[in-house]
Amino acid sequence: MIDVHISFPPAESSLEILDALLDSQFRISTGENITHAEPLNYLVSGRPKRDEITGCPNLKALIIPFAGIPAQTQTLMQEFPNISVHNLHHNAVPVVENTLALLLAACKHLIPAHNALRENDWRPRYAPNPSMLLQNKTALLLGYGEIGSRLGRVLDALDMNILAIRNSISALERDRFAMIYPSGNLLELLPRADILVDTLPLTQQTEGMIGKKELSLLPKGAIVVNVGRGKVIDQHAFYDALKEGHLGAAAIDVWYQYPEDEESRADTMPAEVPFGELDNVVLSPHRAGGLHSEDTERLRMEHLAGLLNHAARNEPLPNRVDLKRGY
């Protein structure tokens, strides 16, 4: 029997999906308390406690049920090199679909026109149209993993030219959809980018990767979409480039400040600067990954079952996290 504990309580329907897809030798428990810790083999948790790890001597792997790794988990798990850490990438599809929606809303300036017509104001129809045509434009993707490569396929279908940055390569690569460069080529690529899309995780190397200098290298009128992590782009430089008109528009799903508790969810600024006051910004409350969506939870269970079934067949688990790199 292979023992698995899921620290968050999935809906009954989600557990039914997981059970139907798993090989027969699994025993699943859920909830904050681990009910059979001694034989536990796999823990599904984004932010495990130290005593959960030390109290499970047979633990083989920690499975983080989303993409990326929280900083405290990264620090903790470096103390347990015998326990591998793995991600689920089930959210790649919803992230890419929402990225496309955000990009289109930003480059077509849909939100100001929507807000005006809600007030019966037709003047935007007769004013100069600031929207950008995507066909034959160049998109630069920061990150070319599960999300970036899928996004590249989507943008290619719009007849866009795709450039990408991938940290794990040292020389130029090419696939069917994109020219893929090492991160050291960033500064020379930025002037070619009509669209910049961040899909990167937050690490010591990526924090502040896009600052005032990098934004100034983008062509005037360029559009920036951030669905990676907020702090990859310096918020003050980002705000200034939008307010001063160097950037044509932006769509932002990931932020710099989050509510600390349930009460503060109704009134927490997402940044130190007022992005919400700018007409050329589309704001989204970190939901590109389809959080709380039934479809996304189904995908989560499908991907979890697929990963665990590798263990049942004595195969290496995919999506292993490099704890030193943080992804």
Q: Residue-wise pLDDT tens for the chain (327 aa)?
A: 899 999 988 889 999 999 999 998 899 999 887 765 568 999 999 999 999 999 899 999 999 999 989 999 999 999 999 999 999 999 999 999 999 999 999 999 999 999 999 999 999 999 999 999 999 999 999 999 999 999 999 999 999 999 999 998 999 999 999 999 999 999 999 999 999 999 999 999 999 999 999 999 999 999 999 999 999 999 999 999 999 999 999 999 999 999 999 999 999 999 999 999 999 999 999 999 988 899 999 999 999 999 999 999 999 999 999 999 888
| Domain assignment of residue 77, given as a range | 2-91+293-312
Tokens matching residue 91: 């959210």
Whether 100 maps to a domain, the answer reads yes
Domain count, the chain: 2
Whether 321 maps to a domain, the answer reads no
The reply to whether 113 and 195 lie within a common domain is yes
The reply to whether 75 and 98 lie within a common domain is no
The reported pLDDT for the residue numbered 9 is 84
Model pTM score? 0.93
The reported pLDDT for the residue numbered 202 is 93
- For 138, phi then psi, to 5°, come to -110, 130
Tokens matching residue 246: 């160097």
Q: What is the Rg, in whole angstroms, of the alpha carbon atoms belonging to the chain?
A: 22
CA proximity to 317, closest of 14, 35, 64? 64
The reply to whether 147 and 234 lie within a common domain is yes
The reply to whether 39 and 135 lie within a common domain is no
Whether 233 maps to a domain, the answer reads yes
Ramachandran area for residue 31 (φ above 0: left; ψ -120 to 50: alpha; else beta): left
The reply to whether 249 and 108 lie within a common domain is yes
The reply to whether 85 and 98 lie within a common domain is no
The reply to whether 106 and 236 lie within a common domain is yes
User: Residue 304 is part of a domain; what is its CATH number?
Assistant: 3.40.50.720
Whether 319 maps to a domain, the answer reads no
Whether 111 maps to a domain, the answer reads yes
Q: Is the distance from CB of 212 to CB of 234 less than 8 angstroms?
A: yes
The reply to whether 164 and 279 lie within a common domain is yes
The reported pLDDT for the residue numbered 33 is 78
What is the C-alpha separation between 291 and 174, in angstroms, rounded?
33
Whether 101 maps to a domain, the answer reads yes
DSSP letter string over 207-243?
TT-B-HHHHHHSPTTEEEEE-S-GGGB-HHHHHHHHH
The reply to whether 275 and 173 lie within a common domain is yes
The reply to whether 303 and 161 lie within a common domain is no
The reply to whether 11 and 35 lie within a common domain is yes
The reply to whether 172 and 302 lie within a common domain is no
Whether 134 maps to a domain, the answer reads yes
Whether 324 maps to a domain, the answer reads no
